[in-house]
Amino acid sequence: MVGEVEEAEFPERFRSYSENERHWQARREFILRNLPPDWAGEAPWPAAGRIDHLLSLSMVWANHLFLGCSYSKDLLDKVIEMAEGIEVEDVPQFTTRDEIMKKHQH
């Protein structure tokens, strides 16, 4: 029972105060899918450095997906690969500055 409660609460402690439910559910799935394979869902939790790295990558993915933030190609390739198979409905479409400039040149 205690292990089940800890497992259910584990990702919840990483939700941002201003994160809406839709964004959180997508990022939560990203975190759970990419937890270290040696973690069985109960204490002791993975090393803080590994979790911090995963949380950072989850924020990069969510910021890119929902806010249109840009990052290096290598970083985006990594988080997109990590998020493969996560279904998110009604993802906003963003236009980059380069796409706008190219459109106005014609």
The total number of residues written for the chain in this structure: 106
How far apart, in whole angstroms, are the C-alpha atoms of residue 83 and residue 62?
10
The predicted structure's pLDDT at residue 86: 94
Cβ burial, residue 25 (10 Å; 0-12/13-18/19+)? middle
Angle, helices 73-82 vs 48-62, to 10°: value is 100
* CA–CA gap between residue 7 and residue 33 (Å, rounded): 13
Distance CA 73, CA 63 (A): 15
Report the predicted TM-score, pTM, of the whole model to 2 decimal places.
Answer: 0.74
For the stretch 35-86, pLDDT in tens is 877 665 555 556 667 888 999 999 999 999 999 899 999 999 999 999 999 9
